[in-house]
Amino acid sequence: QVQLQESGPGLVKPSETLSLTCSVSGGYISTYYWGWIRQPAGKGLQWFGRIYASGSTNYNPSLKSRVTMSVDTSKNQVSLTLNSVTAADTAVYYCARFSRDYYFTMDVWGQGTTVTVSS
Amino acid sequence: QSALTQPPSASGSPGQSVTISCTGSSADVGGYDYVSWYQQHPGKAPKLIISEVNKRPSGVPHRFSGSKSGNTASLTVSGLQAEDEADYYCTSYAGSNNLVFGGGTKLTVL
């Protein structure tokens, strides 16, 4: 059974770049899309975008200018980079697998990693 | 502000049925049969419960069902149980490889 584990710095200073990694175990990242979603404390979910194993990406238009996703098939990992962070980027960040059975549906989620933006 | 509108809260007694709405536009909910619903318990990751409007993934109880009419999708939870108390989020494909979320609904089992 595939499992996802997000990892990252925990604390990032304003204006700096946030980098997160999602490690996939129990399965291969090939032939799937992998997405990133965040959730500020007490608030709703926001979709960043998704990346295919080949490196093809689809980004949320509202975040596209600050977001980069990448994939490392040799390590079975996908990554998220968010630049010029502010306090508004403080949130729990999730990675998720997009289903091959249901269109634009996330069927496996990581447990999430908390990121705080503060000086 | 979320692209899809959900009521902030909903409630029902054990055994009752509750329906949560998710309203969008012809550019998302109304334009595609690609609405999903996710359940999120406090401190946990979201869990897929309904996909493509009304398809229930393996392992999801039959008391969860989905439907759509025009620009509004709905999630119905029948035979409410205490463990159904959670936040529920809808998503919809919005064209051009874009996905939009609803603001979420907190379901309380009285």
State what percent of residues in chain B have pLDDT above 90: 97
Residue of chain B minimizing CA distance to A44: B103
For residue range B37-81, list pLDDT tens digits in order.
Answer: 999 999 999 999 999 999 999 999 999 999 999 999 999 999 999
Which residues are bridge partners to A18 per DSSP? Answer: A82
For residue range A31-88, list pLDDT tens digits in order.
Answer: 899 999 999 999 999 999 999 999 999 999 989 999 999 999 999 999 999 999 999 9
Cβ atoms of residues B33 and B67 within 8 Å: no
Give the whole-angstrom CA distance, residue A9 versus residue A15. Answer: 15
Question: Which chain A residues have any C-beta within 8 angstroms of a chain B C-beta?
Answer: 37, 44-47, 58, 60-61, 94, 99, 101-107, 109-112
Mark residue B55 as left, alpha or beta (left: phi above 0; alpha: psi -120 to 50; beta: remaining): beta
Give the whole-angstrom CA distance, residue A93 versus residue A114. Answer: 6
A vs B, Cβ pairs < 8 A, gives 61
Q: Which residues of B touch A37 (CB under 8 A)?
A: 46
The Cα-based distances of B41 to A87, A117, B56, B71 in angstroms read 25, 25, 19, 27
Identify the residue among A104, A107, A108 best suited for mutation to test binding to B, counting B beta carbons within 10 A and taking the highest. A104
The CB density around residue B8, as the number of other CB atoms within 10 Å, is 8
Q: Which residues of A touch B34 (CB under 8 A)?
A: 103-105
**Cβ within 8 Å, pair A44-B102:** yes
